[in-house]
Amino acid sequence: MKKIILGVALAAAASTSMAASYGPAGCGLGSHVVFPNASSLPEHVLAALTNGTSFNNTFGMTSGTSGCDAGSPMAGVQNYMDQNMEQLASDSARGQGESLQALIALIGVDAADQGEFTQTMQTNFDKIFMATETTSGDAFASLTEVMAANEKLVKYLG
């Protein structure tokens, strides 16, 4: 029989975890925008107490790895961009950053070409992250275009 200790905190400002949107399709959702609407992120008092992940209906071992890793090198990239639009945008504006590095690892850019890649992301920022309505699908398409036009980077498109 577990000990029952009641605790009720009525006033707090606490935020809860973000809804992860790994649907069964996994890949190719493509609809995330750069800055998700803040009001769609729900709050929950005491969320930290249970470390609840209220809105994530997917759990288990395979939800994070299923999806689009098969096929061309760029297949996993769109999935990643879906989940990291804001981080990629802010890293690209700077031409440096962790999320950008992870993208580089996913695409498989050689060490020799990484400088070219980060600089290209920064120079082409407006083209890739055009507007707040730009979806990850659009950004992915623009990224592919930009890479195709670059003689050093085109080879990574597979």
> Shortest Cβ distance from residue 151 to other proteins (Å)?
20
Complex with other proteins: residue 120 or 147, whichever CB lies closer: 120
Complex with other proteins: residue 129 or 140, whichever CB lies closer: 129
Tell me which residue of 83, 72, 91 sits closest to 144, measured CA to CA.
72
> Shortest Cβ distance from residue 43 to other proteins (Å)?
8
> Shortest Cβ distance from residue 119 to other proteins (Å)?
7
> Shortest Cβ distance from residue 24 to other proteins (Å)?
14
Complex with other proteins: residue 77 or 147, whichever CB lies closer: 77
